[in-house]
Structure 1
Amino acid sequence: MKKNTFRLLLAFILVLNLGVAQNLKSLDVDVKFYQKIKMSDGIKLSSNVYIPVDSKEKHPVILIITPYISDENHSRGLFFARNGYVLITVDSRGRGNSEGEFIPFENDGKDGYDIVNWISKQPWCDGNIGMLGGSYRGMTQWLTLKHFPKNLKTIIPIASVGPGRDFPKYNNIFSSYSLRWLMFTSGKTYNGNLFAQDFWKVKQEKLYTSGIPFNKYDSIVGFHNKIFQKWLEHPTHDTYWKNFYLTPKENYRINIPILSITGHFDGDQMGTLLYYKSHMEYGNTNAKKNHYLLIGPWSHGGTRNPKNELGGLKFGKNAVINMNQLYLDWFDWTLKGGKEPAQLKNRVMYYEMGSNQWKHAADINSISNGEMVLYLSSLHSNAKDVFFSGDLAEEPSDDDLEPDSITYNPFLREGINNPSYKDNSDNNYISQDYINDGNILIYTSIPFEENTTVNGKIKLEAYISMNVEDTDLRFTAYEITSENKSIFLQEDFLRAKYRNSLEKAEKVSKDKIVRYTLEGRNMFSRIIKKGSRIRLVFSTVDSPNYQKNYNYWKDSAYQSNEHSQKAQLKLYHNTKYPSRVILPIYIEDDGVK
């Protein structure tokens, strides 16, 4: 009796963990491994196909195209096959068991089009195909949609990479991570051990301290990477990068339901929102009504595996969504004609941190309806000490104050010791270690008189002069609670020569006062509690994590310490040069913030 009870309990747990539908007849699944799909140029891609067992019926199909080897989708293949779908996972061209060469971004759309057409002709396909996947796999959905295969009926792009905008560079500043990822996806194998952090931390610090140009990074790693070099040849947002986005006409042609998913702390939030906002601007009315956006309090990985804790921040249990169930409900609606998912309360769903509640809006522009403007000042301080910081005030200073100043000398290599770089703790979003770094400017507001909802991106408009033709600027914003706890809100970077456009570099006129606008990297939603203050930290970008700017007029990929220049920056804040922070806020209809 006890043995039978144990077996029943074990079976129940197994079914529960797999998230299998109630009508499940069998846990068994038919799998066709290493099926070859011929592309229009003759290259054959490898796929694994998961089919409901003992079924002679045709089914809707869910497609995942991955550069990370199809084995990663085995559990998901079982889940969907057990719920009445065929799932097919395809190794990207040149990866895993697929033929050809993997060149990121360049073949994914055309291959996706060929794959969808091939699937539509298979005996197990009922003609309805959806796509699923996150990060690179999310971007691949948009690139496939750009070719408009007729049997593609829906997509769920999650944390979609924005080529040239958030990866491999942000605001035209390349990340050291870009080469790490290229090596992770090089050759045919998974390369998981190569991807490990320790090896790359040593290599990027060696590049940073050696003073050699960024384009030599692959030689330090030990493998000349032609894709890395190709990317560096496109430092601006030129035609090469623009070709990976839908044109206005292509956005207007979209006629399928879309569920876009990202997180407040997702490193590819920009890519997700670029695709989303472009469709909202240029799409046709009917299609836009069926494009939903979900934004949770998640990191990049958390968009697929949500948790209620991140970097020391705590959220409610409701932050943990059953993503498999959401995907299933979405596909049941869009591919099987079922009910619209109950989770979709409106077209935009976002998590409000602080209250730990899900909020809903008809469009992303309506999540904020006002602004709070705070002006930088340092009437009683030089703004370099957290205990005697500058101010964020409601009015600009009437006095013709001397500007605050910082110096960035790339030759000193101070960034390797900066707390903001060295902080790898599990509490990195609530750390205040950065206050030990003296080469920054700090501005703090008075305590808020009431709870204030900040929804969107914090913007910094700063009037700055510098003695060099280029450097990289950075700001970070925090909430400082009444208990003096620090909560990370947002940051942004800007390369000075791209201050007016990412498409064209312009020299900075030495010692001329110029307004620089840093628009915020990620949007977020948070209630700033009564008694809390806003703290702004301004600095240059000096970190082994990023391409180093040696402050002279040459593409930073090819600059070296040999010609480095010391940058002296002055930040002005008075009635003539009103440097300010702009917080997007939401005010309830009754006038209470």
Structure 2
Amino acid sequence: MSLSRLLGLLLLLATGTTFARPATVPMPAHLLDGGMDAAMPGFARQVMAHYRDEDRKRYLGTLFRLQSATGQYPQAIASIHELRQLGDHAAGQSPLFLQYEIHALARQRQANTHASYADAWQQEFAERFGALDERTALQAEFAFGGWLPRMRDELDAQIASARGKPRLSIDEAIALVRAWQVHDAYAAFQPYFTTALKVDDARRYAIDRDAMVRTPDGVELAALVVRPETAPPLPVLLTFTIYANDDWAWADAKKMAAHGYAGVVAYSRGKGRSRDAIVPFEHDGADAAAAIAWAAAQPWSDGRVGMYGGSYSGYTQWAALKQRPPALKAIATSATAAPGIDVPMEGGVFLNFMYPWPFYVAGNRSLDDATYGDSERWEKLNREWYRSGRAYRELPRIDAASNPVFERWLQHPVYDDYWQAMTPQGREFAAIDIPVLVTTGYFDGAQIGALHYFREHLRQRPDADHTLLIGPYEHFAMQAGVAPVVQGYTPDASARHDLQALRLAWFDHVFKGTPRPELLADRVNWQVMGADRWRHAPTLEAMATRSERLYLLPGEASHRLADAPSADAVTVQRVDFTDRGDAGWTPSPTVLNRELDPHAGLVFRGEPLPHDTELAGPFGGELDFVLNKADADIAIGIYEQTAAGDYLDLAWWLQRLSHAADRSHRQLLQPGARQRLRIADTRLLGRRLAAGSRLVVTVGVVKQPDQQLNLGSGRPPADETLADAGQPLEIGWFGSSYLDFPVRE
């Protein structure tokens, strides 16, 4: 070696500079031909000998897997422990890679004691997992799950990628070892995990899977109770639901118990072990009140009950409040259904997605997933009904199936006494003096229901302790977590909150006196999409600092959103209900699309924005129009068209014109007479529009296979047939029609 090369080598060693990874690692014979388990330790040792990474965390995260694959379990455990010390471990957070640590300890015990792996793993699990507190254990158990066939698929994919290659790059080799190590560990311990977890649960909790609540009218309600094994009387957190799934119920009740409450899940009448008739919506208020009274009277209860849950289980909380049970001290609702307001119809328009729902919840004592999930059946039903021109009321006959719940709903097409009996009305809201938390999303179909309760409560009781949180969430975000991508939209980092943890922190504030969660800084709390921040205000109206009025004007190439009216200008919309050539149409599953759906109707475009503009709060407005029919169903959509040309759904509004003045009575319009319609109580906007974007508004008449049709004849829309369509519907939208957009400076 020359002197210059020697000096260079010494310099590299002195400065601690690492050498580049070897280009490749030789592939051992038989590694991919059925001898992987025997050959993998030697292959992993080769990889480990050459593996380097200056990032210590990343290095250790790979090293422990290589050490495990070679059978060096004490070293793998040491690497996991060092990796944990380098991380930021929050209270209640699961120890990193606990599942692999316990697996390594079990292998080590197995080698030292000659015990079976099953016995060694169960003993290590009992010692290590059992030492965790309840909250941490609840977090930790999810790491032991996972679908083994998927892990096998990932390993097979790595094998297929490596096959035929005499050598692998270090990255390829690491990926192969990792896939094998993951599958090897989970295949070893998963057969014992469920039983071991049940043993651990039985040690921590008092569990009653057979509780039964008897209502004053003699109905039995099945309930599940999970509470800390040794604890003084505790507040109860209860969910009351028609979605009878014992696994879901167990997970909910156990989570409440892990956080220091008595967790109770009660099913509505006829569900689970109850043998009574299944009746969605109609008895839930009184039945939930009975469940509350029962829970409050138990010796393990301190007499205070809080309710939580989303969708239908959000509705049951308001149904219970109509009964004013004295033990109910707080509710936390999400994606809250409001019968007669947002389901099974919105704005008076019945929504076809609710037709199969009774089969799901009322078809048996649990849930009929097979029938409800038969999307081919329901899409075919929509197409056949729409194409046939038959009355909406005939959907069950077209489906050749009895659907008495749906038929009962159709008997109440307005917000009459049937619907009003289910939830608080008018001054009943004024008596609700307990804390309320509601969570919804910009992309949540039930947002309008959640806002209904919020608005009515504050109208009747302006000082109500009612807190709203809204972000870029869809209907199941509270239950399933905030997904990295929501219906095609990628939420900002600040939106990625654990909403269930937030709810529990709020309950701790209410029942245990802990500080109020910082995110709930005011009555209204919203995430500003595109700005990656949260804002807070005391009311919906205070979300914006000003309003910008834009008028709907006709244009040559495109209709316009303009800042000044033109009362004589008219944009004519024509809809032929006899044309059913679009029976195969289906809505887009995403909220970010390259094109607008033609079913959205007329398109009005604003000018490119000269600077970033933040929209915050409900929109409003007034439509000035003339119609040649006695009625119509109108849909308005609000979009951002980005500078790149994509359309992001921001909000929408759906309304049957004859229900607009009074949702409890139908008032037909006079054909040919000029009409004005106020747009109010809409969904919320929460978006920073970038400079160069445009505001886009669509104004459409509902004509699509997944919603009830209103042909405008004046007959009940459920009874109208194609013969009632008559001449095409024509609406003239005058240029004095406008929308008010809430802007925050």
Asked if Structure 1 and Structure 2 have the same fold, meaning a TM-score greater than 0.5 normalized by the shorter chain, the answer is yes
- Give the Å deviation of 1:312: 1.9
- Give the Å deviation of 1:16: 5.1
Match of 2:144 in 1: none
Letter in 2 for 1:83: H
C-alpha distance in structure 2 between counterparts of 1:585 and 1:343, whole Å: 22
| Map 1:62-81 → 2, pairs under 5 A | 62-71=237-246, 72-81=248-257
Q: Secondary structure at the match of 1:218?
A: helix
Decide which moves more: 259-268 or 5-14.
Answer: 5-14
Match of 1:111 in 2: 287
Which of 305, 323, 326 aligns to 2:502? It is 326
- Give the Å deviation of 1:115: 0.9
Match of 2:185 in 1: none
The alignment's TM-score, normalised by the length of structure 2, stands at 0.71
Find out whether 1:215 has 2:393 as its counterpart: yes
Match of 2:601 in 1: 440
- Give the Å deviation of 1:64: 0.9
Which of 34, 37, 59 aligns to 2:234? It is 59
| Map 1:137-216 → 2, pairs under 5 A | 137-186=313-362, 187-196=364-373, 197-216=375-394
Match of 1:225 in 2: 403
Q: Secondary structure at the match of 1:573?
A: strand
Tell me if structure 2 keeps the 8 A contact 1:44–1:99.
yes
C-alpha change, 1:573 and 1:180, in structure 2 (3 Å) is same
C-alpha change, 1:535 and 1:76, in structure 2 (3 Å) is same
Superposed CA offset, 1:27-65 (max 9, x none): 533321121111101111111111213x15322211111
Which of 624, 628, 643 aligns to 1:482? It is 643
Superposed CA offset, 1:92-128 (max 9, x none): 1112222322222211111111111111221211212
C-alpha distance in structure 2 between counterparts of 1:294 and 1:9, whole Å: 39
Find out whether 1:581 has 2:739 as its counterpart: yes
| Map 1:382-421 → 2, pairs under 5 A | 388-397=557-566, 400-401=568-569, 403-418=570-585, 421=586
C-alpha distance in structure 2 between counterparts of 1:114 and 1:326, whole Å: 28
- Give the Å deviation of 1:522: 1.8
Find out whether 1:423 has 2:588 as its counterpart: yes
Letter in 2 for 1:389: S
Tell me if structure 2 keeps the 8 A contact 1:445–1:534.
yes
| Map 1:521-532 → 2, pairs under 5 A | 521-532=682-693
Q: Secondary structure at the match of 1:453?
A: strand
- Give the Å deviation of 1:90: 1.0
C-alpha distance in structure 2 between counterparts of 1:510 and 1:183, whole Å: 40
- Give the Å deviation of 1:435: 5.7
Q: Percent identity?
A: 26
Tell me if structure 2 keeps the 8 A contact 1:69–1:96.
yes
Find out whether 1:19 has 2:139 as its counterpart: yes
Superposed CA offset, 1:553-588 (max 9, x none): 1100111113222333233434xxx122221212xx
Match of 1:590 in 2: none
- Give the Å deviation of 1:284: 6.8
Q: Mark the runs of 5 or more structure 2 residues left unpaired by the alignment.
A: 1-71, 78-97, 103-124, 142-198
Match of 1:589 in 2: none
Letter in 2 for 1:299: E
Superposed CA offset, 1:378-429 (max 9, x none): 24x1xxxxxx21111111238x44x3323212221144355xx3434xxx21
Match of 1:385 in 2: none
Find out whether 1:365 has 2:541 as its counterpart: yes
Find out whether 1:135 has 2:311 as its counterpart: yes
Match of 1:570 in 2: 731
Tell me if structure 2 keeps the 8 A contact 1:492–1:520.
no
Match of 1:552 in 2: 713
Which of 668, 685, 704 aligns to 1:507? It is 668
Which of 437, 440, 454 aligns to 1:276? It is 454
Tell me if structure 2 keeps the 8 A contact 1:20–1:83.
no
- Give the Å deviation of 1:9: 3.7
Letter in 1 for 2:687: R
Tell me if structure 1 keeps the 8 A contact 2:224–2:249.
no
Which of 394, 402, 419 aligns to 1:241? It is 419
Tell me if structure 2 keeps the 8 A contact 1:26–1:82.
no
- Give the Å deviation of 1:525: 0.7
More strand by share: 1
Alignment RMSD, CA only?
2.5
- Give the Å deviation of 1:91: 1.3
Superposed CA offset, 1:125-164 (max 9, x none): 1212111100110110111122122221211111111110
- Give the Å deviation of 1:308: 4.1
C-alpha change, 1:257 and 1:516, in structure 2 (3 Å) is closer
Q: Secondary structure at the match of 1:571?
A: strand
More helix by share: 2
- Number of residue pairs matched by the alignment: 562
Q: Mark the runs of 5 or more structure 1 residues left unpaired by the alignment.
A: 382-387, 587-592
- Give the Å deviation of 1:7: 5.7
C-alpha change, 1:376 and 1:121, in structure 2 (3 Å) is closer
C-alpha distance in structure 2 between counterparts of 1:195 and 1:530, whole Å: 44
- Give the Å deviation of 1:460: 4.7
C-alpha change, 1:253 and 1:211, in structure 2 (3 Å) is same
Letter in 2 for 1:18: L
C-alpha distance in structure 1 between counterparts of 2:608 and 2:312, whole Å: 42
Superposed CA offset, 1:422-462 (max 9, x none): 434xxx2121433656x932221111122221112333533
Superposed CA offset, 1:530-561 (max 9, x none): 22111122221011111122231110011111
Tell me if structure 2 keeps the 8 A contact 1:47–1:70.
no
Match of 2:511 in 1: 335
Letter in 1 for 2:454: Y
Q: Secondary structure at the match of 2:325?
A: coil
C-alpha change, 1:535 and 1:56, in structure 2 (3 Å) is closer
RCO greater where, 1 or 2, for CA within 8 Å and sep 6 or more? 1
Match of 1:351 in 2: 527
Kindly name which structure, 1 or 2, has the bigger radius of gyration based on alpha carbons: 2
C-alpha change, 1:202 and 1:83, in structure 2 (3 Å) is same
C-alpha change, 1:120 and 1:581, in structure 2 (3 Å) is closer
Letter in 1 for 2:319: L
